[in-house]
Amino acid sequence: GKIQGKRIFHIMSLILRKQCVNFSRQRLIYMPPTVIELKVLRAFATEPSKLPENDNTKVSISAATWLKTSYEKLIGTYEELSGMKEVRLAQEEVLRIQEKLQDIQEKRRQTQLKLLEIQKSLHDVNKDINAIDKGNPHYLELVHRQFDLMQEEHKIQKNFQITDTNERDSFTYLTSAVRSSHEKERSQAEYAKSFSMTLTMIGAVLGILGSYLTYTYRNQQYKVINEQDLQALIQQGLSREKERKAQQESWTDYFKRHGSNVYRYFVPKK
């Protein structure tokens, strides 16, 4: 809507700029747009837009299509693995046979109604034939009418028998399809139960394995940390011992430093 409005405004401005004002040397002359140009404008306005699509729109459409395709593939794979596809196909087959059976039943009812009408008409004709004199001119007409009705009755009876047979066959097919669908649903339920139990067991095993690996990793980390702490404590103790030893002074060093004082103590100055 906005793009089409912009296009109309642009074309209108071009026509007005070209035809409404005629630049001359002396003055500006007003020239209204002609009927042909108005028809061209209307045709152009009603023409579908041929502007290039936006790249963002194309990207969004491609992304949506990819997501939809991926989702459908994922659902299809899940249905294949879980057996839901076979159950769905069996249910669709049951619905198809049920619709076919309903159509055949409707045809059989219509054929039966036609047969009843023909039989009633034939009964009335037979009643008229029995009541009329054979020398009557209408007798031959009634006989022809009886013959035509008998032929039509025979034809409709044949169609009715065919339709009735088709109805019985369709009902048999429907019963078989329903039984098959129930069996597939039961098999799918058992398969889903077994599949869920298998997944539960696999999840439990993976959980136990993950807990064991986590416990082992943490113990290794604790051992490394304890060894590092122990080495740090040992290094700290050794450094303190070295500092303590460095701070202690031996008697030899003491006498070397205070030898003159000791000498003066025993040999005083005169």
Read off the pLDDT of residues 222-261 as tens digits, 9 standing for 90 and up: 888 888 877 888 888 788 777 776 665 555 666 666 666 6
Pairing, β 21-23 against β 28-30: antiparallel
Q: Produce one character per residue of 12-39: b if its CB has 16 or more CB atoms within 10 Å, e if not.
A: eeeeeeeeeeeeeeeeeeeeeeeeeeee
What domains, with CATH codes, occur in the chain? Answer: 66-193 (1.20.120)
Q: What mean pLDDT is reported for the chain?
A: 76
Q: Per-residue pLDDT tens for 207-216?
A: 999 999 999 8
Region 61-87: mean pLDDT is 79
Residue 88 pLDDT > 90: no
pLDDT, residue 158, reads 92
How many Cβ atoms are within 10 Å of 57's Cβ, its own excluded? 9
Would the pLDDT of 37 be above 70?
no
41 close to 11: Cβ distance less than 8 angstroms:
yes
Q: What is the mean pLDDT of residues 37-41?
A: 49
pLDDT at 110 over 80: yes
Instruction: For residue 76, give Cα distances in angstroms to 68, 80, 83.
Output: 12, 6, 10
pLDDT per residue as tens digits for the range 181-206:
888 888 888 888 887 888 899 999 99
* Between 146 and 16, the higher pLDDT residue: 146
Closest of 109, 116, 185, 193 to residue 152, by C-alpha: 116
> What's the confidence (pLDDT) of residue 227?
80
